[in-house]
Amino acid sequence: VSICLGENVTLTATGSGPFNWSTGETTASITVNPTSTTIYSITSTNGSCSLTDDVTVTVNTPPSVNAGSDQTICEGESVTLTATGNGDFLWSTGETTDSIIVDPTATTTYTVTASNSCSTAATDEVIVNVTPEVTLDAGSDVSICLGENVTLTATGSGPFNWSTGETTASITVNPTSTTIYSITSTN
């Protein structure tokens, strides 16, 4: 028989008796609570004749699972999620392997459940945060005459960081020679 750690099980012998268990008990049925897999023997003796039989009680550790730390990815990327623990794993995606590869398009919570012959299952979840794709356009190249100002306006998801150090979407510049202005957006 198989039990979960902490559970009791009743072992019942059948036959002509008398019964003598390896535990020292002499009844047909005994209740045991082993902490590890144990072989119990029972012997029945009638005169010079005796017969011995064994029963193995397998002790299973309750299932446990850890889905790992929450993850953050950029939109369009994938990430490997790995469960650790014991038992048979089942992800909310339907997959039954320790590790799965996911590529969500929005922030998603993934759940993994571990089970074995024990009556209770263990569950954990991991959140994959999806950062939206960065969009950015500094605008078209422009020509000005010496001494003139020009306003450059960026479009996109921001935040904006111009090579001039300014952080607004629009900046006004007055270059004295042909100049390239760069803008960066990080999400």
User: So what's the pLDDT on residue 11?
Assistant: 97
Residue appearing with tokens 């006004």: 172
pLDDT digits (tens, 9 = 90+) for 123-158: 999 999 998 888 889 989 999 999 999 999 999 887
Whether 54 shows a pLDDT value over 90: the answer reads yes
**pLDDT bracket for residue 57 (50, 70, 90):** very high
Q: What is the pTM of this model?
A: 0.62
Note the pLDDT tens digit of each residue in 17-53: 799 999 999 999 999 999 999 999 999 988 888 899 9
pLDDT in the model for residue 111? 98
Provide DSSP, the chain.
-EEETT--EEEE--SS--EEETTS--SSEEEE--SS-EEEEEEEEETTEEEEEEEEEEEEPPPEEE--S-EEEETT--EEEE-EEESEEEETTS--SSEEEE--SS-EEEEEEEE-SSS--EEEEEEEEEEPPP-EE--------TT--EEEE-EESS--EETTS--SSEEEE--SS-----EE---
What pLDDT does 180 receive?
A: 95
